[in-house]
Every structure is written in C-alpha cells, then in structure tokens.
Chain A
Amino acid sequence: MDIKIALAGNPNCGKTTLFNQLTGASQSVGNWPGVTVEKKEGRLKGQTDTIIQDLPGIYSLSPYTPEEVVSRSYLVKEQPGAILNIVDGTNIERNLYLTTQLMELGLPVVVAVNMMDLVRKNGDRIDLDALGSALGCQVAGISALKGEGGLEAARRAVSAAQAGKSGELPRVFTGSVERALAHIEESIQGMVDSRHLRWYAVKLFERDGNVLEELGLDQELASRLEERIASCEQELDDDAESIVTSQRYAYIRRVVEQAVTKQAAMRSLSASDRIDRVVTSRILASRTIEQDRDRKMTVMTTGFIPCGAKLPIISLFAGAVSGGSPWVAVSAFLTGIAAVVLSGIMLKKFRAFAGEPAPFVMELPAYHAPSVPSVLRATWERGWSFIKRAGTVILLSSIVLWFLQGYGFQDGVLQAVEDNNASLLSGLGRSIAWVFAPIGWVGDMAWKAAVATLTGLIAKEEVVSTLGVLYNVSGEALGDSGEAIWLFVAADFGPMTAYSFLMSSLLCAPCFAAMGAIKREMNNAKWTRRPSAICAPSPTPPPSLSSSWAGWPRARPALAPAPSPPWPCWRAPCTCWPARVTGRRPGTAPRWLWAAGTAPPAAAARGGPLEPGSPETPLWNWKGPRGQEDPGPFCAMGSYGANTGPPGGASRRSRPP
C-alpha cells in the first residue's frame, strides 16, 4: 500500500522547489479533473512506495478559487496519509493561516518552515520546538533552495503517516465560537468521518455552500444550527466568516509571539518614505479621534490647553510677582498638560466615554504643495478674525469696563469716582468675590480678580486688559509699558494669591468663543457645561453645585439633593467633578429598580447581575419622556457598577419593601 503525502502551502513558499528536490525525475504532470489546475505527483527519492502529491499554492481552504476547491476536495476525499505543510519562515503569520485550517482536517500534519537561511540572515529567530508544541504537530526547519532538511521533513511526514495519528487539535477558537463549534460537532457526529469533525463543524459555522450541499442536513437540524450561528454572530457583532478569520489570526498571533523573535526592521527608507511614514502614522495614530466618544473627550479637554491668549496672563504674573522666574511659565504649561492628561484618564472611566473602538476607514487626500494665494488667503482670514475680535469684543468690553470702574454712586448720585474701590464695578466684583475666598482671594484684590475672571470668559485676552483698566487709576497709559502695571499688581496680589489667580485663569472655563465651538462640536449644549463645570472646580461653591443638579441632562431630575454646604473647599473638586461629568452622584444610585407595590425581580433578590434584555430589567430602560408612561414610584436596591447603566427614570425612590 502506497503512502500518500500531500504538499500544501501558500503560493511562492518554495513548494515546487521542495517537490522537485523530493521527487527528482519521477514526476507526472496532469490536470485536476474538471479544472485547468495543474496536478503534479511523484515518488519520494529512495522510497518508491511513497507518493508525493503537490497541491496548488493556496492561502486558505475556502471555496472561492478552483485551486482551493481541488485542494480541499483532495484532502477530504482522497485522504492522504499525511500533509507536509510548507511555511515561508519570512512571512510566517500569513502562512500559518493555512496551517490552522489544515490541522482541522484531522490528518497528520508536519510543518516544514522553509527559508530558514533567510530567516537567520534577517536576524530573526524561529523556535521550532516552541512552534511545534504550540501548534500540536511536528515542525522541521528547511531551506528548499539550498537543499537543506527537505528529505528529513519528508521522512517525518512518512513516519507520521505510518503512525496514522494526528496531533491534538490546536485551540484556535475561544469563547462562544468554540462552544458553537462543539455544538455543531455534536449535532453532525456520525454523518462525517470522525477525523474531519472539526473541519466540517468550522465549515458549517462559516455556512460554506459546498459543505452544506455535501452534507444535505435535514431541515430541523439546519435551522437549529443556523440559530446557534446567528446568536454567535449577534454576540460578537460580526458575520461568521469574519469571526472565524479573526479568531484564527488572534490564535496565530499568540503562537508567533511564543515562537518567533523578530529583529526590528532596519531597512533604509527613502526621504518620501519617511515623510509618508510620519504623515500616515500620525493619521493612524489619531484615528480614534474619529470616534465619537474620543472626539467628545478631546473637545472637552481642550479647555485646559494653555492657549496663546493665556500667555499674557502668565507673563504678567511671572513678571509682576515672581520677578521674572522662568518656573512660573513652565509650571503653568505643565499644569495645563497634566490637567488634559488627568481629565482624559478620568473621563475614560465613565460610561459615556467607555466602549469598544470602532472600525476605522479614512480616505487620504493626495498631498499637494499649497499655492501662494491660498496660503495668503488663509493667513489673512485668521489675521482679520483677530483684528475684528480686538476691535469689537475686546474694545467694547474695555469701554464698558472703563465706564463701570470710573463711575459709581456717590452721595446717591451716579458720578465719576476718584477711587475705583467705590465704583459700580467694584460693587459688582465684591458681590461675587466671596465665591473665590476659598482659594485665597481676599482683600482689595478680590473684586478685581473676580471681575478679571468674569471678563476672561469673554476672551482670555480680557484678563490682562481688565487688570490694566482697573489699575489705571492715575491715568497713565499702562498699555505702553508693562512694568507700570506690575507695581500695582505686585502691591495688590501676594505671590501665593497671584499664583492661585494664575492657575484659576488657566484651568477655569474657556472663553465664550471656545464654549461656542464646543457646543458646535458636540451638537448639544449640555456637553458645554461639563468642561466649564470641570474647569472651575475650586472656585465653585456648594450652592451652585446643588443648583446644577436641577435640570441636569436628559431632562432627568436630580437623584438626590447635593450635600448641604459648607464643604471644605478642597473636597469640592474631588466630588463635584466626577459627579458633574456623569450627572449623578458616584456609587449611590440604585442597581435594581422596580415599581413600588410589586415584588422585586428575582435577579435583584439574588443580587445577581443585570441581564440585558431580560424581562426583569425594563424599568430602568424606561426612556419615555417625563409624565408619559410614568412607571410610578420606584424601589431601589444596591448600587450599580461601572458597566451598568444609570437608572433612566430614577426620579423618585423609596425604601425597598
């Protein structure tokens, strides 16, 4: 009885070279029946009872090309004694894809890693033993071109065929896919050769037309399997074929990580390659920004970025109070960056920003050198928009400020005042200055700093110009000489107060223009309030916190009134930040809700997890507008986890029965 060894491998993996080497002149060439695909077979040199069957070069065993069809029908129908799978060692990930499919056939497989000489030359290392134990089959290293190891690999295949035992199936599939496959295997047991069970199961899972036709499953079984496959698809949100493909690659990546050490690619790049690499890697690196939640996060954190308009504030205080110390500016910028990073990390923890990354696809434009007119036009547009701002918003508000600080009620009459501490603006400032007392703004500077913070909302440039107006008591033109204002500022602000003011300016709500941009980006005003709430954590007093609960997003009433003031001011940022970002008090909302007067759901009684879609959950998926289909008073129990949703209609709570 002749032993048949099938040679299988990707195109250009050196299969034909090895075939020639193994068989020498004893080849016969024909066609596979019905197709114009070449069929070659020959006898192994020195072992004439061994037939080597060369299969066409294929990437997989799917039914889409004639090569693949003849290969798989040969392997399944003719049942060679063993498969000698040739793998290109320099491109092992791609080649192992076919290997995982060959293993599923249940025939003895010997993997011959070809081009080992090239692998060594590249400085890579393939641990053949580790590869063998990971794949669950014999692995030999060969170099078909140099004639190394080919015969040895063939002999191993022959002895594997004689032993007739296939190795243990590698654990390619995981989780629900593996369970579905096991289910399919169980259902079709007895209908197919037990060795090919896994192969048929995978093909049925993929809804392979040829296999479905071949097996001719009865109606009931087919619909049962279809149901199973569909539920798997739904769970993994992908079609069966893609699920199988991606699990195969995940498996291959694990195997390759174990067995292959790759030298970092050292090839020299041309200049255009390098440009392209920089450009495209930036695009791909920022790809996640495409995604909605990441975009929202980016937009929300931009408020902390020390923009150009904040620079005058930094330089004013660095010069006036800190004697020009370079550390002021450095610390200001580092604080801004740290705030962006920290808020990003914190935002990621919240449900609104958590989730799976979406698939990314983007069309890249062709790169052109910009034309001179378009550069000039762009420059002009930006320059002009600044001039308009300076000439309108900033000028107008400076005039208003000047009026407000120059006039006041004296002796019951509105008139010009000598001392702007008696002005209208001073009165306004003092009425809100108490808000800032916790961060050390006390005394005469308090109302000026408060006013400057307010005008900073119009535009950050306003902060310095406001201080300029406010300290311009002697009528000097402060704009001409920066140093003049320094004296006044230094006299009024102590170093710590000045730094506190600086930090608050940097981290407080962005200007109205930026808030408008955020609103545009978010298409929703509610997001705008979040960064501003975050931005002004330390100066925010508890009263405004509790008022913010009313009318919090999604038109949902507050879960509970905020704790009553006064709080130690340092606690405000810690607690109000996450609370305001999520719109709920952390960790105190109920995990289970059910209508009062009815029995609690069984899962709630068990304390079990929330089952999506189970009939026990509807209360908190209740999305109707207020007043409509109101489910009535709720009972609540426990607290919800990070991944479970907030109670949609948790407006009223009572104690559990």
Chain B
Amino acid sequence: MMPLSMARTGETVTIRKVTGKDEVRQHLAELGFVAGAAVTVVHEIAGNLVLQVKDRRVALDRGLANRILI
C-alpha cells in the first residue's frame, strides 16, 4: 500500500483503498477512483497528477492523490 502520488509516470496501478471524508471519497468514486480500478499515471507535475482512469483523464493535486492508496 502506498499513496497514488508515489506512482511513477507511465505506471498502471490498481487502487486498493480510498481514504478521506465521505464526501471526498464519494467524489473520487464518481470520477472512477474506487477500489479495484486500474489507474495509469499520464503525467506528473510537482506531485500533482494527470491520471487515466476508466478511459478518461483526470487531474488531481498531491493532497488528493495521497488519499488514494494503491
């Protein structure tokens, strides 16, 4: 288990857990960040990530990426 922010560019990882308050988790889940989903790191700038999840691209900042454990 490690936070998504630690994943390398180009790496495809599987989400194990999404932590955080319910509304944050709910929001992330709506975007496709749920346990078991595969996520590819498209791009990384200063800890902020551009991710490919379920065929769409989502930008996340470091704080949110830390809540997603892979």
Residues on A facing B (Cβ under 8 Å): 58-60, 62, 64-65, 68, 91, 93-94, 97, 237-239, 241-242, 245-246, 249, 276-277, 280-281, 283-284, 287, 359-366
Asked if B2 contacts A364 (CB within 8 A), the reply is no
Among A276, A287, A366, which residue has its beta carbon within 8 angstroms of that of B61? A287
Cross-chain pairs A/B with CB under 8 angstroms, 20 sampled? A60-B2, A64-B1, A65-B1, A65-B16, A239-B20, A242-B19, A242-B66, A242-B67, A245-B69, A276-B42, A281-B45, A283-B59, A287-B61, A361-B31, A361-B59, A361-B60, A363-B57, A363-B59, A364-B57, A366-B56
Asked if B60 contacts A249 (CB within 8 A), the reply is no
Nearest chain A residue, comparing its CB with the CB of B17: A64
Which B residues between 27 and 49 are near A, CB-CB below 8 angstroms?
27-28, 31, 42-43, 45-46, 48
A250 to B3, CA, bound (A): 13
A242 to B2, CA, bound (A): 11
Among B16, B42, B56, B64, which residue has its beta carbon within 8 angstroms of that of A361? B64
Shortest distance in angstroms between B37's beta carbon and chain A's nearest beta carbon? 15
A364 surroundings in chain B (CB, below 8 A): 50, 56-59
Shortest distance in angstroms between A279's beta carbon and chain B's nearest beta carbon? 10
Among B28, B59, B66, which residue has its beta carbon within 8 angstroms of that of A245? B66
Asked if A280 contacts B50 (CB within 8 A), the reply is yes
A246 surroundings in chain B (CB, below 8 A): 63, 66
Asked if A287 contacts B59 (CB within 8 A), the reply is yes
Shortest distance in angstroms between B17's beta carbon and chain A's nearest beta carbon? 6
Nearest chain B residue, comparing its CB with the CB of A284: B48
Contacts A97-B6, A238-B21, A245-B69 aside, 5 further interface pairs with beta carbons under 8 A come to A68-B1, A239-B19, A246-B66, A359-B64, A360-B59
A43 to B9, CA, bound (A): 38
Asked if B60 contacts A360 (CB within 8 A), the reply is yes
A363 surroundings in chain B (CB, below 8 A): 31, 56-59
State whether A359 and B61 are in contact (beta carbons under 8 Å apart), knowing that A60-B2, A91-B8, A249-B66 are contacts in the complex. Answer: yes
Asked if B63 contacts A64 (CB within 8 A), the reply is no
Asked if B57 contacts A245 (CB within 8 A), the reply is no
A523 to B64, CA, bound (A): 28
A241 to B2, CA, bound (A): 12
A238 surroundings in chain B (CB, below 8 A): 20-21
A276 to B6, CA, bound (A): 21
Asked if B43 contacts A280 (CB within 8 A), the reply is yes
Nearest chain A residue, comparing its CB with the CB of B27: A361
A348 to B70, CA, bound (A): 37
A97 surroundings in chain B (CB, below 8 A): 2-3, 6
State whether A280 and B19 are in contact (beta carbons under 8 Å apart), knowing that A93-B6, A249-B66, A361-B28 are contacts in the complex. Answer: no
Shortest distance in angstroms between B41's beta carbon and chain A's nearest beta carbon? 12
Among A249, A281, A362, which residue has its beta carbon within 8 angstroms of that of B58? A362
Asked if B45 contacts A280 (CB within 8 A), the reply is yes
Asked if A362 contacts B59 (CB within 8 A), the reply is yes
Of the candidates A237, A239, A245, A359, the one having the most CB atoms from chain B within 10 angstroms of its own CB is: A359
Nearest chain A residue, comparing its CB with the CB of B22: A239
Asked if B1 contacts A59 (CB within 8 A), the reply is yes
Asked if B2 contacts A280 (CB within 8 A), the reply is no
State whether A287 and B48 are in contact (beta carbons under 8 Å apart), knowing that A362-B58, A364-B57 are contacts in the complex. Answer: yes
State whether A245 and B27 are in contact (beta carbons under 8 Å apart), knowing that A280-B43, A280-B50, A287-B59 are contacts in the complex. Answer: no
Shortest distance in angstroms between B7's beta carbon and chain A's nearest beta carbon? 8
B42 surroundings in chain A (CB, below 8 A): 276
**5 A-B pairs with the lowest CB-CB distances in the bound complex, closest first:** A59-B2, A94-B6, A360-B61, A364-B57, A60-B1
B57 surroundings in chain A (CB, below 8 A): 363-366
A363 to B27, CA, bound (A): 12
Of the candidates A245, A249, A277, A284, the one having the most CB atoms from chain B within 10 angstroms of its own CB is: A284
Among A91, A245, A283, which residue has its beta carbon within 8 angstroms of that of B19? A245
State whether A284 and B45 are in contact (beta carbons under 8 Å apart), knowing that A359-B64, A360-B64 are contacts in the complex. Answer: yes
A283 surroundings in chain B (CB, below 8 A): 59
A145 to B24, CA, bound (A): 43
Shortest distance in angstroms between A266's beta carbon and chain B's nearest beta carbon? 15
Shortest distance in angstroms between A642's beta carbon and chain B's nearest beta carbon? 25
Shortest distance in angstroms between B31's beta carbon and chain A's nearest beta carbon? 7
Asked if A245 contacts B64 (CB within 8 A), the reply is no
A64 to B70, CA, bound (A): 10
